[in-house]
Amino acid sequence: MSEHSQAEGLHRGLKNRHIQLIALGGAIGTGLFYGSTKAIQIAGPSVMLSYLIGGIIIFWIMRHMGEMLVDEPVSGSFSHFAYKYWGDFPGFLSGWNYWMAYVLVNMAELTVVGKYIQFWWPDIPVWVTALVCWAFLTVVNLINVKLYGEFEFWFAIIKVVAIIGMIVFGTLILLKGDAGSASGVGNLWNHGGFFANGLEGFLCSLAIVMFAYGGTEMVGVAAGEADNPKKTIPKAINQVMWRILIFYVGALLVILMIYPWNQLGVGGAEGSPFVQIFSKIGISSAAALLNVVVITAALSAYNSGLYTNGRMLYNLAHQGNAPAIFKKLNKAQIPVAGVLFSSFLMGLVVFLNYLIESQVFVYLMALVVSADIISWVMISVSHMKFRKAKSAQGEKTDFPAVWYPVTNYICMGFLAMVFALMGYMGGDWRISLYLTPIWLIVLYLGYKCKPQASEGSKAIMK
């Protein structure tokens, strides 16, 4: 069975508007709305530069993936390309690593939803909120892909409107002086300078910033269910850069001017910095509205992650890299076994929050960054091998990547630097660094233990 015909088993029920908003939903979530507090504390105002540089790297990686996708729009994309153009083990590793990354991401999303709810009801344990949201979104993902697309479309619309509204509203209160004497452009350099914690703080913030960009590649997994992938995928990928400028750099610029960066998270304050700021300057209605938005953002990211994981297992099963049960589709052509298995593991975070609530998010964030780095490196390497194969065949592609192969090497070098910085930062981040080689060994052993396909069947699958 070819990968193209595998993808046909999934229902192409995602329209252009769904694909555009899935790409946006993956790019805007907990990393900005919650994780940015830690990044701001480490880097000060220079965190905006961190998000910009990280965003450029991600855009280049997306273009690497996009060139392959437009040429071969399949579901579970980069696992397919690693498998086809690099080898059996890279395909196995790429698919299972990305699947695990999203299990961890979704655990983090459920955790922060509980923390956001505590803005209104501090006595409700995080694990209770996590349990309710986990059950609801699992059901949504089992109904049909169009319903998933509609949920994600409206979730993302809320995020977009809210961030633009926050930027406009924040700018207006700055111009009118309604934010108080502590506000102003001077906040970008008055509290220790733009690089308030020096080059060290700026560089270390990159690890947290890259957590925010995990999920931008989600449009690749949706490619197999796009009704016109050769048109919608380039459009979605090319819009990544301006989304980063507006939704990350623009939003952070406004909130850092409204309130001194060094007072965010003081006293162990939890929740989103966007909510904290409007609460601190006394605009409680804006704080409450933004809290609704950040809850929606986390639910959106979880919804997208569960969708992604079901399709990744479906693709792995067709490669022979996962049990055959994950090929199973329900009447709505949803990979039901993959969704349920992924959801079960994600639901374990309910118990983690019950046992060690205060530490869960930080541990998960560090593990996610390591898994994402592996995925992004594999996308860039697979793309280089893809281009070499096309060149050898004398074929040209319709959506060539930016400055190949220079950007491939730049991206891989940057990601290696981030990985090294995680070791330098120590603590929870270093634990993630130690676990990464163990995870790779586990994947290698899993690959060796699985039934190996015959050379003839490998040729058919490829």
* Contact of 50 with 44, CB cutoff 8 Å: no
Per DSSP, 452 falls in state: P
Q: So what's the pLDDT on residue 378?
A: 94
For residue 78, pLDDT beyond 60: yes
Q: Which is nearest to 70 in space by CA: 389, 400, 301?
A: 400
Q: Determine contact, residues 244/27, Cβ cutoff 8 Å.
A: yes
pLDDT single digits (tens) 105-119: 888 888 888 888 988
The reported pLDDT for the residue numbered 21 is: 64
Which range scores top for mean pLDDT: 116-130, 229-243, 285-299, 380-394? 380-394
Spatial separation of the C-alpha atoms in residues 440 and 247, rounded to whole Å: 34
Q: Are residues 98 and 379 in contact, defined by beta-carbon separation less than 8 angstroms? A: no
Rounded CA gap, 194 and 202, in Å? Answer: 10
Both structure tokens of 192: 């220790």
Better-scored residue on pLDDT, 8 or 224: 224
Bridge partner residues of 14 (DSSP): 226
DSSP 245: I
- Which tens digits make up the pLDDT trace of 232-253? 778 778 877 777 778 788 888 9
Residue 299 has a pLDDT of 83
**Which has the minimum average pLDDT: 5-19, 127-141, 266-280?**
5-19
Query: b/e string for 34-56 if b means 16 or more Cβ within 10 A?
Result: bbbbbbbbbbbbbbbbbbbebbb
Rounded Cα distance between 408 and 148, Å, is 33
Instruction: Provide the residue count of the chain.
Output: 462
Determine contact, residues 355/349, Cβ cutoff 8 Å. no
pLDDT band per the 50, 70, 90 thresholds, residue 68: very high
Q: pLDDT at residue 381 above 70?
A: yes
Range with the lowest mean pLDDT among 45-59, 207-221, 404-418?
A: 207-221
Q: What count of other Cβ atoms lies within 10 Å of the Cβ of residue 362?
A: 18
Q: How confident is the model at residue 147 (pLDDT cuts 50, 70, 90)?
A: low
Q: What is the pLDDT of residue 2?
A: 39
Report which DSSP code applies to 248.
I
pLDDT number for residue 222: 58
Asked whether residue 89 carries a pLDDT value surpassing 90, the answer given is yes
Q: Are 2 and 271 in contact (CB under 8 A)?
A: no
